[in-house]
Structure 1
Amino acid sequence: MRVHLVGPVGLSDPARPSGGNVYDLRVAAALRARGHEVAVHETTVEDLSSLLGSLPEGAPVVIDGLVGSTSPHALARAGDRLRLVMLVHLPLGLGVAGSMPQRDPEARALAAVSAVVCTSGWTRDWLAGEYGLPSARLHVVVPGADKSPLAEGSATGERLLSVGAVTPVKGHDVLVAALASLIDLRWTWSLVGASVDADHATRLWSSLWRSGLDDRVTLAGALTGADLASAYAGADLLVLPSRHETYGIVASEALSRGIPVLATDVGGVREALGSASGTEVPGFLVPSNDPVALGAALRSWLTSPPLRTRLRSVAVERRDGLAGWDVAAASLERVLAGLSSH
């Protein structure tokens, strides 16, 4: 099968390693490993119609929602000649991080495609509830995870790591407020992620400086490959303080190394963390936008060796249950195989 995957400009840019970009590229690679030919296209909303018009009749096309969800007219024009699938990482109808919800164009765009792929059950349920999409057109293909060497972990558990773009939705400012309440304890925090919101990044650093925390914090910027792997290998705890996540692929990346996760209980994060032995979460879940709850969880982690030992054991058990990208690709393959031909 020859598949076309359409993503935003910058999809393959290593300086912009978002969870959505990682997902798109890893699924494309896994489909190729399963014997499919995959053409990856990067385009803008404005150029989507022209791109779709250039693709061969009857071709299966997977379109990232960042490009497709606000392009109902382009999808409607191409829907009769192409087999269109929308891949929704983050519903634009949510209007997160202060952006305006775009429900009307997204509803019309999703109605124009043959199938919708979501990266979590939470996203599937949200789309079904908000847009009344029939369940038969909604499919969940969760991100895969590569089994990586187990992180050794320090005796004190003091090495905290966050991975994600420096934007308000990721909640790093909430984490800074929580860390300010832990000045009496030993810890360091490394923040890995591109500064895509310069004003927010400046405010974040100013807050760190005013709180006297700047000497404990490393703003590492965007990392990929061996550098990102090294950041995970040196971490004791992944902290994901997001105001919203539809899944939280970085949680899977941490758990694939046996690193516990402290995260806000938003969107699909609970799915990403999963559980070991059917019940125990490999870390902590706290309310979003709550520095007191976040700080209390961090204090528990930093001051209780038995707790750290137990959660590391749970994280290792959870690691053994993570599915790889080949499983994600097989799920997407079934969606594509079920599309009606033109």
Structure 2
Amino acid sequence: MRVGIVVYGPLDDRSGGYRYDLELVDGLRAAGDDVTVVSLPERSYRKRLRDNVTAARRLRGLDVDVLLQDELCHPSLAGANAALDDDIPVVSVVHHLNSLEQFRAWRRHARRAVETRYLRSADAFVFNSETTKGTVAAVTDPEPSVVARPAGDRFSSFGAPLGDDEIRTRATDGPLRAVTVCNLEPRKNVDGLLRGLSRVRGDWELTVVGAAVDADYADSLSDLAADSGIDDRVTFAGRLSDADLAATLRESHLFALPSHYEGFGIAAVEAMGFGLPALVSSAGGASELVTHRQDGFVVDPTDSAEITDAVAPLCRNRRRLLSLSLSARDRFLAHPTWDETAAEIRSFLLDLVDGDDAGSHGAHE
């Protein structure tokens, strides 16, 4: 099968959707498919809108059986897809909708219009969660589709999943060590996490891992930690190599990322492989992974008191922490691997291509 995939910038090991796309491409190539990566320029949203003509020209020249498009690229493709050959199915890989992020009303409305036009131009979809599928269903028919959840087994060479003995020994060791892994931007709600932790009466530490993609927001987090009197407990580690991140996860007790919205949450899956209960947001698809008070916590991202209430007991009740940790590890073991996720998507694509032999989809607008 000849596959094209459209992404912004280089297809590398960045977090979130880029990791998903990279693992999918690796899986398709391992299965013998010929995959062509089309990299569109990473620019401001307004400039991305201007790239539709160039994108259409580049995509028309592809010799592929199916064209995957990371939905993140929708500003550059909303008009371009109308110019593509109807004989080649366009499959949108949707991680989360940009128009669901926290923008001013007028900007959110404008982006919603562009994003909706793009989604309606796709022939089929790959979703990372049922929640993400539901958000697309609100604006267009989400079928045909496959829900293929992100995996978290990229740290298998660094000792994940952890064994029972190591998890038991760690549970009683030192202060409660929490970790969050994300790009530092408002949607990730690290500020809400800091506010929740600041009210925890107990011995805890937090390591914040991730690149400062929004410099002003990253600076505000440092200011918030200082103003809250917890700056001596919070370490901003920046982006780490896989080896250093694995070491940090291995030494931690709790993963916390109460985002304002998260399509699924790959970092949470990866952390659970190290036996970390995951504190995640009720807004988005992470609740499809975490069972509240069994292998983690599902909290309202707008109520930092829920974060306080979840974390505080773990500082003193290490038996409770141990139970949650073992359950988190077991949940990880039951979760699909990247190989399985890629195979599920590949099977869907093969069915789509075989079905398309009888005629064109004709969905491009």
TM-score by length of 2: 0.85
> What stretches of structure 1 move > 3 A for 4+ residues in a row?
95-99
For residue 189 of structure 1, what is the aligned residue in structure 2?
Answer: 206
- Structure 1 CA distance for aligned equivalents of residues 129 and 286 of structure 2: 9
Asked if 1:300 corresponds to 2:306, the answer is no
Aligned equivalent of 2:281, options 264, 274, 290: 264
Moved more, 225-234 or 321-330: 225-234
For residue 112 of structure 2, what is the aligned residue in structure 1?
Answer: 103
For residue 62 of structure 1, what is the aligned residue in structure 2?
Answer: 68
**Count of residues in Structure 1 that have an aligned counterpart in Structure 2:** 331
- Quote how far apart the aligned CAs of 1:97 are: 5.5
- Structure 2 CA distance for aligned equivalents of residues 9 and 115 of structure 1: 23
Moved more, 44-53 or 113-122: 44-53
- Structure 2 CA distance for aligned equivalents of residues 256 and 69 of structure 1: 36
Cα distance per residue 1:243-268 (max 9 Å; x no partner): 11011111111112221111221110
- Compute the RMSD of aligned alpha carbons: 2.0
Relative to structure 1, the CA distance from residue 18 to residue 79 in structure 2 (aligned partners, 3 Å threshold; closer, same or farther) is: farther
- Structure 1 CA distance for aligned equivalents of residues 32 and 293 of structure 2: 38
- Quote how far apart the aligned CAs of 1:82 are: 2.6
Moved more, 257-266 or 187-196: 257-266
Asked if 1:87 corresponds to 2:84, the answer is no
- Structure 2 CA distance for aligned equivalents of residues 335 and 26 of structure 1: 16
Cα distance per residue 1:81-105 (max 9 Å; x no partner): 4321111111133243656242222
- Quote how far apart the aligned CAs of 1:52 are: 0.6
Q: Secondary structure at the match of 1:226?
A: helix
Moved more, 28-37 or 90-99: 90-99
Q: Which runs of 5+ in 2 are unaligned?
A: 42-47, 361-365
For residue 139 of structure 1, what is the aligned residue in structure 2?
Answer: 146
For residue 29 of structure 1, what is the aligned residue in structure 2?
Answer: 26
Q: Secondary structure at the match of 1:31?
A: helix
- Quote how far apart the aligned CAs of 1:229 are: 1.4
- Quote how far apart the aligned CAs of 1:163 are: 0.3
Moved more, 76-85 or 110-119: 76-85
For residue 41 of structure 1, what is the aligned residue in structure 2?
Answer: 38
Q: Which runs of 5+ in 1 are unaligned?
A: none
Q: Which amino acid aligns with 1:100?
A: R
Relative to structure 1, the CA distance from residue 157 to residue 265 in structure 2 (aligned partners, 3 Å threshold; closer, same or farther) is: farther
Q: Is the 8 A contact 1:117 1:141 kept in 2?
A: yes
Aligned equivalent of 2:179, options 139, 153, 161: 161
Q: Is the 8 A contact 1:96 1:244 kept in 2?
A: no
For residue 123 of structure 1, what is the aligned residue in structure 2?
Answer: 132
Q: Secondary structure at the match of 2:252?
A: coil
Cα distance per residue 1:317-341 (max 9 Å; x no partner): 2122011011111111122112214
For residue 114 of structure 1, what is the aligned residue in structure 2?
Answer: 123
- Quote how far apart the aligned CAs of 1:41 are: 2.4
Q: Which amino acid aligns with 2:24?
A: V
TM-score by length of 1: 0.90
- Quote how far apart the aligned CAs of 1:177 are: 1.0
- Quote how far apart the aligned CAs of 1:179 are: 1.8
- Quote how far apart the aligned CAs of 1:157 are: 5.7
- Quote how far apart the aligned CAs of 1:10 are: 4.1
- Structure 1 CA distance for aligned equivalents of residues 122 and 143 of structure 2: 13
- Structure 2 CA distance for aligned equivalents of residues 245 and 75 of structure 1: 27
